[in-house]
Amino acid sequence: MKSYQQAWALGAEIWSASSLFGEEAAGKALRAVERAESLAPGSLAATRARAWYEFRVSEDLSLALSLFQTAESMAPSDVDVLSTIGELQYRLGDFAEGSRTMRRAVFLDPRNADVHANLARLLRNRSMWDAANAVLDLSLIHI
């Protein structure tokens, strides 16, 4: 059962990211979320699936943040969740908290180039060029 639920949850994440391509992808994302939730209500994978749907499809950033924070409570060292929480905090206007959260993700997985890139992008968006470059330079050391 668990593998089916995880597969549906992953499908929901993928279709949510693809929702920019139209209503068909958004509909597939919602069906995948609902299936993941029906197979394992309240699980980490189902929570992540719903969070990605709310973030990418519904564009309800506050709800997505709340769901990702719930996911973080289930998996506190999940750097993908932490990085996404940081991005949502930033998008909701809290740069300081967003950058702290992203720095935690980098600290937890210094070899993860994606979390370095996400933090660098956040810093670049604030015109903090030197800090963004330093984060990218640091990622090259760890890769």
pLDDT tens column, 4-62: 667 767 667 666 766 666 788 788 888 888 998 998 899 999 999 999 999 999 999 99
pLDDT tens column, 77-127: 999 999 999 999 999 999 999 999 999 999 999 888 888 888 888 888 888
Rounded to whole angstroms, how far apart are CA atoms 83 and 104?
A: 8
* Long-range contacts from 63-68, C-beta under 8 angstroms, 24+ separation: 64/88, 65/89, 65/92
* Rg of the chain on CA atoms, in Å: 16
pTM of the model: 0.85
